[in-house]
Structure 1
Amino acid sequence: MCGFVCLWEIEDGGGTLLAAMLSRLGHRGPDATRIARLDDAPVAMGHCRLAIIGAEDGIQPIRADAEMLVANGEIYNHADLRAILGAENFNSSSDSEAILRLFRGGAQRWINRLDGMFAFVLATPERIVAARDPLGIKPLYMARRGKGLAFASELKAFDGFGFDDIGAVPPGTLFDSRAGLRTWYRIPAGAGAAEPGLDIDAVAGELRLALEEAVAKWMVADVEVGSFLSGGLDSSLVAAIAQKHRTGAGLGPLKTFAVGTAGAPDLLAARRVADHLGTEHHEFTFSAQDIADSLAHVVYHLESADLDLVRSAVPTLFAARLARRHVKAVLTGEGADELFAGYAYHHGYADDPRALADELTRSLGTMHNINLQRVDRMTMAQSLEARTPFLDRDLIAFAQSLPAQLKLRRTDPASAEATGPTTEKWLLRRACRDLLPEDLIWRRKAQFDEGSGTVEALRQALRLLTGSRDEVDPGRESKLYRDILRSRFAEPEMILAQAGQWNANRIAA
């Protein structure tokens, strides 16, 4: 995981502009920082590196003859690509070099062969190419200055430096200075009702295999990978499969990390899961004062003042701080709610599986500047890589082919009849019911900020920050977050304009 800046046809004052921009991203990559230029091309690139794969020789920018690359993320099929493209053509053990070698092969849809989470910029003397992974797990922003272009991993790199038309490169999109934007990946449409006679056990079995393959793939690294563990279904299933993977590989127990206020339900549930799985478990208990002390840091790194996003970012930051003391990379459960209907509002779609399928597809496409932005910014603020195996490309394709009717099912878990209350993520629970105790498999979802105790602690923190004896209402809370953001950025409206909204274009139930 890394951060980068690239300038194309922009005068950078002998390197001062690029260096100043890159200094804003140092938290994303404390292991190495490097700036390079390409001969006979109007390009300068800077990269700050968190070494995960190819730690010894994977420093960037990566150069090959007249081409140069900076990248952020992980290419999980880099070993297969290396074998296909010829190991003798590679100069390093870095997974990112596979991007450059694929590009040099000249295939029309070369980018489609990359499997992972990534954002990159690649330059030749004649053109510049930039692209982002299918769901936008890794961030990528583009801006203009005169006729020139600039790219960066976070908005703060542009702040106050006189750039125009600042915006995100959309997920699954490739920009080519010669041809403009093109969408190279589209989220598969979700299925609605289940066809008659569907073998649910067989489908659940295939889902289990797809999930196990995804977790194993997303654990590939040259460093130890731990796991967030909130005690909820998603992170618990990821941790359970990851623990099995480590055990099968003859490695020590998985390191798991949970945070919450004293006595929070998530802390207690995570402890039970960790005991059941036999992980090496670590906890951090935070207070209202801890939140008050960290809120400005959260808003600055989050690059958003959205009320819901800030609330959920607080415990994510504490979890990242805890994990970074022990590992450089963690698995998370992000994406399961969007794939398998895990949010409370999804229950309103119980009688309309077609609308539910469409809503899940829509929400997958909006993750990049909501939940994925939260996870990326809060973990990278602590120089920690977060990995989201539920958003594996193969798993997305399989999950989207599954009937939404089986994801949110109007049935009691103990009954085969389609009556009773609706159960979210029903098929996922059924597929993994042997991994956890039954009461944890069927435990109702709580939002991370609720289960961790953040909601009540945040109320107290807001009173501390505002000096109010009364509870701070949502309107005043939102204003506080916007005021914090405005105090930290020279161009706050540019930052605020990029923020995602939880309810934008939601499909009607």
Structure 2
Amino acid sequence: MQTKELTEILEKAVARSAENEKEVAIAFSGGLDSATIAKIGMQKFGAKLIAMGVEGSHDLAAAREAADELGLPLYEVVLDERKILQDYEVCYKMMPGTLTDVELMVGAYECCKKAQELGCKIILFGSGAEENFIGYQKYYNRFSKGEDLQKILNKEIETLPSRDLKRTCAIAGHFGIKAAFPFMDKELVKEVASVPVEKRMGTVEMKKPLLRKIAKSLGVPKCAYERPKKAMQYGSDIHRILLRHAKAKNIEFWDARAPFVYE
């Protein structure tokens, strides 16, 4: 499978996810995944980039830089401790889980809320990029042990809709909108899986080389396609603030989520 063919399939995936809406929100961190969706989306619909995080956080700074290079307006949600703690309580009541489960919901909560305010019916998330393009360190760890990584990735992708995506969709539904995930498009998943895992693996610092190559070919800003992965809860500073208040707010931070929760 050539990069050009995968690029065309990803373009179709983004278009399908938008469902012919004229204006579509994109949860935007300024990183590889969201910037790639944004670059494709801006040619197909009115892309509304939504970034959230604590002022001074990695994600807000990265989103501002990437949005500026894309030439797209950025709709910011600047979080503070009070808002993060309030959102955590709302999300936990909606769907209890580990700290990792719920802090991811907090980020989605603020993005979906802003999307609704902007009048968008659909918001796109980059979920699925790590599983398809091998972006998590846990995959490298398993591969180094000689395990069948593609079999593991298949299971990750198969169960993702009942895990993180289920939570994101619940949040979107709470605001009367729909969450969509271009990287989970069936055609894209199938074709990416046909690429040997060795060709999808990069260095520890720069994972997902195949997606970076696709992004570069699309004209995604260099600041985005060369940016190392930083998970949303860390890049936005949500995790740091929740840990600080964990004891007082009875946040069950000691229940760490297992790397492979279905095992």
| TM-score, with length taken from structure 2 | 0.90
Structure 2 matches for 1:288-303, cutoff 5 A? 288-301=81-94, 303=95
Q: Matched residues in 2 for 1:448 and 1:362: separation?
A: 23
- Cα contact 2:29–2:63 (8 A) shared by 1: yes
Q: How does 1:159-238 map to 2 (within 5 A)?
A: 203-222=2-21, 224-238=23-37
Change (3 A) 1:257 1:222: closer
Aligned CA distance change for structure 1 residues 438 and 352 (closer, same or farther; 3 Å)? farther
More RCO (CA 8 Å, sep 6+): 2
Partner residue, 1:403: 196
Contact 1:347–1:422 (CA<8 Å) still a contact in 2?
no
Q: Which residue number in structure 1 is paired with residue 236 of structure 2?
A: 452
1:370-393 per-position Cα deviation (integer Å, ceiling 9, x unaligned)? 211121112212222111111111
Alignment correspondent of 2:122: 329
Tell me what 1:385 maps to: 178
Q: Letter of the aligned partner of 1:445 in structure 2?
A: K
**Cα deviation, residue 427, structure 1:** 0.8
Amino acid at match of 1:314: V
Residue 59 of structure 2 corresponds to: 266
CA contact (8 A) 2:98 2:253 kept: no
TM-score after normalising by structure 1: 0.48
Q: Tell me the equivalent position of 1:436.
A: 220
Identify which of 444, 464, 474 aligns with 2:253: 474
Closer/same/farther in 2, CA of residues 353 and 430 from structure 1, 3 Å limit: farther
Equivalent in 201, 208, 213 of residue 425 of structure 1: 208
Corresponding residue number in structure 1 for 2:154: 361
CA distance 1:427–1:317, shift in 2 (3 Å): same
Confirm or deny: 8 A CA contact 1:309 1:371 kept in the other structure.
yes
In structure 2, distance between residues paired with 1:382 and 1:464: 29
Structure 1 distance, partners of 2:31, 2:68, is 15
1:292 is displaced (CA, Å) by 1.8
CA shift for structure 1 position 350: 5.2
Q: What amino acid maps onto 1:283 in structure 2? A: E
Distance 1:262 1:217 in 2: 34
Q: Which amino acid aligns with 2:160?
A: M
Q: CA deviation at 1:437?
A: 2.8
Q: What is the aligned residue count?
A: 261
Q: Which has the higher helix share?
A: 2
DSSP 3-state at the match of 1:433: helix
Amino acid at match of 1:338: E
- Could you tell me how far apart the structure 1 residues matched to 2:87 and 2:8 are? 40
1:320 counterpart = 2:99 = no
* Contact 1:207 1:428 (8 Å CA) reproduced: no
Amino acid at match of 1:504: V
- Distance in 2, Cα, partners of 1:226 & 1:422: 29
Code of the aligned partner of 1:347: Y
Residue 436 of structure 1 aligns to a residue in which SS?
A: coil
Flag the 1:460–1:289 CA change in 2: closer, same or farther, 3 A: farther
Report the Cα distance in structure 1 between the residues aligned to 2:10 and 2:93, rounded to whole angstroms: 34
Aligned to 1:344: 137
User: Can you give the 5+ residue segments of structure 2 that lack an aligned partner in the other structure?
Assistant: none
Larger Rg: 1
Q: Residue 205 of structure 1: CA displacement?
A: 1.5
**1:216-238 alpha-carbon deviations (Å, 9 max, x no partner):** 12222355222110222111111
Secondary structure at the aligned position of 2:114 is classed as helix
Give the structure 2 partner of residue 504 of structure 1: 261
Greater fraction strand: 1
CA distance in 2 between counterparts of 1:355 and 1:429 reads 24
Please identify, of 274-283 and 430-439, the stretch whose mean Cα deviation from structure 2 is larger: 430-439
Are the counterparts in 2 of residues 214 and 389 from structure 1 also a CA contact under 8 Å? Answer: yes
**Separation of aligned partners in 1, 2:144 and 2:258:** 26
Alignment check: 8 A CA contact 1:353 1:404 kept: no
Q: Is the 8 A contact 2:131 2:156 kept in 1?
A: yes
Give the drift of 1:369: 2.4
Correspondence for 1:243: 42
> Residues 291, 463 of structure 1: CA spacing in aligned structure 2 closer, same or farther, 3 A cutoff?
farther
Structure-2 residue corresponding to 1:57: none
Task: Evaluate the alpha carbon distance shift between residue 464 and residue 285 of structure 1 in structure 2; reply closer, same or farther with a 3 A threshold.
Answer: farther
Contact (CA 8 Å) 1:237, 1:432: kept in 2 or not? yes
User: Which secondary structure does the structure 2 equivalent of 1:258 belong to?
Assistant: strand
| Percent of aligned pairs sharing the same letter | 26
Aligned letter for 2:260?
N
Shift of 1:463: 5.0
Structure 1 unaligned segments of length 5 or more: list them.
1-201, 247-252, 411-420, 467-471, 480-499
Q: Residue type matched to 1:380 in 2? A: G
